Amino acid sequence: MKKLLFLGAGGVGGYFGARLIEAGIDVSFLVRPARAATLAAQGLRVTSPHGDLTLPVRCVTRDTVRPDYDLVILAPKAYDLDDAMDAIAPAIGKTTFVLPLLNGLAHLDALDARFGADRVLGGVAHIVATLAADGSVQQMNPIHTLTAGGRAAATHQAATEFIGLCASAKFDAALSPDILSALWDKWAFLATLAAATTVTQGSIGQVMETTHGESLLRRLYAEGLTVAQRSGASIDEAAQARALGRLTQRGSSITASMLRDLQAGLRTEHDHVLGDLVRRGQQLGVDTPLLALAHCHLQVTAA
């Protein structure tokens, strides 16, 4: 595996792509013409607790992209997935793999249907990064972990090769032997964080200072965890303890990106992060009243 293509150069793709370029990996970005012009003029700029950098980058657009890549990495918002698949389609050659870094699980079904399950890896990104108004990528805390894995022998081998490339990059990379459980692990955590912070309009630390905050957070996490376990996910006790530790940390300023999108008047991924989890729970006979309440709240807000 030698040539990588990132769809977009925003918070997630821009950050990990820049770190891979810094390590000498062959990376290109598929972007819109205006973003390509900005990157050509200014380079890709990253501000990070791990060190700032400005790099010249190779860009292609929908009109110029060709099927020249071993791996295409995409991290769009879930509601933009259809457009993202259309954008990357010309880049998919006979041996190209696809690595999505989206929340939840519904995207895997869509990508499998479009490109074939034998081409689609699973991936989890743990990072808080955003695209600033000046076009730079800003990492907002020190966490920067990328996990990949496959659901069959061919995709697991591709994930192994990709994580091998990442070994020299300045972020944490891990090969998962059970990528579906890794996706469920993040989903249960993220759904709790999104539900609690959007409904209360506050940070985890602020929620924890209220009368019922800790109980609310633990019950939300239990709902999502139960759906995950009923779906066959294996989330060990250590992973559960880590999630709950972050979700109940007193004084924590952490909020969900969904809250930041909500406060900025942007679209949110509430249907994909909360709605789909509630629907899966209903299909499995799992009652998720708190997650359903949060989803209802966001549906009303969106309407």
Domain range holding 48?
Answer: 3-177
Residues 42 and 137 in one domain: yes
Residue holding tokens 């879930």? 78
Extract the runs of DSSP E, i.e. beta strands, from the chain. Answer: 3-7, 26-30, 44-47, 53-55, 58-60, 71-74, 97-100, 122-131, 137-149, 172-175
CB atoms within 10 A of CB 241: 10
Q: Any residues with CB less than 8 A from the CB of 30 and at least 6 apart, and which?
A: 5, 6, 7, 8, 59, 60, 61, 62, 65, 87, 88, 91
Number of domains, the chain:
2
Asked if residue 205 lies in contact with residue 230, where contact means CB atoms within 8 angstroms, the answer is no
CA gyration radius for the chain? 19
CATH of residue 271's domain is 1.10.1040.10
Residue 303's pLDDT band (cuts 50, 70, 90): confident
State pLDDT tens for residues 175-196.
999 999 999 999 999 999 999 9
Same domain? For 84 and 139 the reply is: yes
pLDDT digits over 3-43, tens only?
A: 999 999 999 999 999 999 999 999 999 999 999 999 999 99
Neighbouring residues of 226: CB distance < 8 A, sequence distance ≥ 6: 281, 286
pTM of the model: 0.94
Domain co-membership, 160 together with 191: no
Task: Identify the pLDDT of residue 53.
Answer: 95
Angular region, 39: left φ>0, alpha ψ -120 to 50, beta rest:
alpha
Report whether pLDDT(1) > 90: no
Residues 110 and 13 in one domain: yes
Domain of 45, CATH number, reads 3.40.50.720
Task: Please state the φ and ψ torsions of residue 126, each to the nearest 5 degrees.
Answer: -110, 100
For 222, other C-beta atoms within 10 Å of its C-beta total 16
